[in-house]
């Protein structure tokens, strides 16, 4: 129609980022989500933190579990037996009891009953080739036996077979007294022996008057024989 001005068209938007339609400067908008490179960085940091926390947690749990464990009992040696710090004996206390009757084996393979050993004072030493302390104790026993002769009967009882190597081991230590074998564990089982070396001092009537669960030196052997066996 004539005389009527057309409405102005909206011009194409030329708004800049950060500018309002009215020409006012808009404040920058902080994104709620980080950019991809920030995501990568934060992910690595988070992963490292989780691994560190896991390591600390595991280490702490292990330390707590170890603190709850009781420390191993410390061994203490007494004249009569080997005991642990709590006072529980390793070897059964048999002093005052009769020597148990079991069969042992001599170097010829024959059975020998311990009942046949009774009748004179006895020193019965239980040993093994693998016993480190026996290596120093056996020479001391050999010297005392050689000095006392037949007044006290010395017997060495090997926990294994008295084969050539075992006999050579004993001979190397100066042993000339009787050697028997408890390869079947009858004597050690009857006496409750769990540690070596082990020595019994037995009166002529078969009563065990002293037992030792330590490596004895020559002076100790002589003193025990004198006090327990009167020889």
Does 178 lie in the same domain as 119? yes
Q: Judge whether 4 lies within some domain.
A: no
Q: What is the mean pLDDT of residues 117-135?
A: 97
Does 63 lie in the same domain as 169? no
The answer for residues whose C-beta is within 8 angstroms of residue 202's C-beta and 6 or more apart is 99, 117, 118, 121, 122, 123, 124, 208, 209
pLDDT on residue 40: 46
Q: What is the pLDDT of residues 59-115, one digit of tens each?
A: 555 444 444 444 333 333 333 443 333 344 589 999 999 999 999 999 999 999 999
Between CA 177 and CA 111, with CA 186 as vertex, the angle to 5 degrees is: 55
- For residue 189, what is the enclosing H or E element? helix 186-191
Q: Judge whether 93 lies within some domain.
A: yes
Q: What is the mean pLDDT of residues 146-154?
A: 96
Q: Judge whether 1 lies within some domain.
A: no
Does 191 lie in the same domain as 99? yes
Q: Is the pTM of this model over 0.85?
A: no
The CATH number that applies at residue 137 is: 3.40.30.10
- Domain residues for the domain of 38 are 14-69
Task: Say if residue 21's pLDDT is above 60.
Answer: no
| Two structure tokens written together for 217 | 């030196």
């Amino acid at each position: 129609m004539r005389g009527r001005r057309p409405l102005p068209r909206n011009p194409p938007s030329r708004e800049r980022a950060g500018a309002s339609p009215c020409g006012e400067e808009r404040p920058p908008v902080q994104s709620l989500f980080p950019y991809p490179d920030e995501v990568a960085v934060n992910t690595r940091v988070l992963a490292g933190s989780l691994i560190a926390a896991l390591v600390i947690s595991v280490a702490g749990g292990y330390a707590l579990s170890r603190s709850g464990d009781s420390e191993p009992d410390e061994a203490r040696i007494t004249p009569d037996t080997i005991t642990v710090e709590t006072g529980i004996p390793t070897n059964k206390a048999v002093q005052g009891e009769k020597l148990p009757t079991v069969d042992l084996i001599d170097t010829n393979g024959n059975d020998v009953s311990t009942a046949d050993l009774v009748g004179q004072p006895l020193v019965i030493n239980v040993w093994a080739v693998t016993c480190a302390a026996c290596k120093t104790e056996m020479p001391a026993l050999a010297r005392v036996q050689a000095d006392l002769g037949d007044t006290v009967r010395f017997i060495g009882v090997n926990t294994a077979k008295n084969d050539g190597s075992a006999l050579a081991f004993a001979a190397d230590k100066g042993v000339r007294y009787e050697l028997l074998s408890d390869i079947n564990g009858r004597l050690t089982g009857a006496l409750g022996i769990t540690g070596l070396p082990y020595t019994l001092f037995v009166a002529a009537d078969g009563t065990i008057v002293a037992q030792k669960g330590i490596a004895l030196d020559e002076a100790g052997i002589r003193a025990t024989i004198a006090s327990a066996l009167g020889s």
